[in-house]
């Protein structure tokens, strides 16, 4: 799930929350973002082109299941480009269950344990979460502030609210407990 090659294929899909652009290296999904999102997860390769790929069909199938209100039971192939720390945080995002939430602090505690450190900055975790290259599939919308407060989402707080409503997680206290989900 990690690598360094540039994006070379894009595809567009529609969703109940607006248009979505998918990116791939030709084999794995390298990007997924909403129209109007604050930032793109990675710079686009100058020679990118719009073309249909099998991985885009898999991602679209995942999105259709998700937006129908069901938790997809598979992941399309992913290629996550980022630092080792970012990839550790992004892999943690995959452990947050559908309908659940965790706080930035819970992720920071879990990542610190995994790294053998006494503590980790929630702000550092927030920076990595904010650079999530594959929104929705890596469910950064399930990360909330202390006490369950809705904070930060590149796709906008209104989208975050709607995604959490779809999952039945809006207004619930974070479920990760004092230690959060296991990051391994």
Q: Which residues are catalytic?
A: 140
Report residue 115: phi and psi, to 5°. Answer: -85, -5
Of 117, 125, 131, the closest CA to residue 145 belongs to 125
Residues 6+ apart with CB under 8 A from 49: 8, 9, 10
**CA 82 to each of CA 4, 29, 53, 115, 183: distance values in angstroms, whole numbers, following the listed order:** 8, 14, 23, 17, 17
Torsion angle defined by CA atoms of residues 159, 164, 167 and 170, in that order, rounded to the nearest 10 degrees: -150
């Amino acid at each position: 799930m990690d690598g360094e090659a540039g994006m070379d294929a894009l595809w567009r899909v529609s969703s109940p929350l607006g248009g979505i652009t998918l990116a791939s290296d030709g084999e794995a999904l390298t990007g997924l973002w909403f129209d109007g999102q604050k930032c793109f997860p990675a710079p686009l390769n100058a020679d990118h082109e719009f073309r249909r790929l099998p991985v885009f069909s898999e991602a679209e199938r995942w999105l259709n299941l998700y937006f129908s209100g069901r938790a997809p039971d598979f992941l399309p192939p992913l290629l996550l480009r980022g630092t080792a720390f970012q990839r550790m945080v992004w892999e943690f995002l995959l452990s947050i269950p559908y309908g659940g939430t965790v706080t930035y602090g819970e992720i920071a505690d879990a990542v610190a344990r995994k790294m053998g450190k006494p503590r980790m900055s929630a702000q550092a975790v927030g920076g990595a979460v904010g650079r999530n290259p594959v929104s929705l599939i890596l469910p950064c919308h399930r990360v909330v502030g202390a006490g369950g407060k809705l904070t930060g989402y590149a796709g906008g707080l209104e989208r975050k609210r709607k995604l959490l409503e779809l999952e039945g997680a809006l207004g619930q206290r974070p479920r990760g407990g004092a230690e959060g989900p296991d990051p391994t």
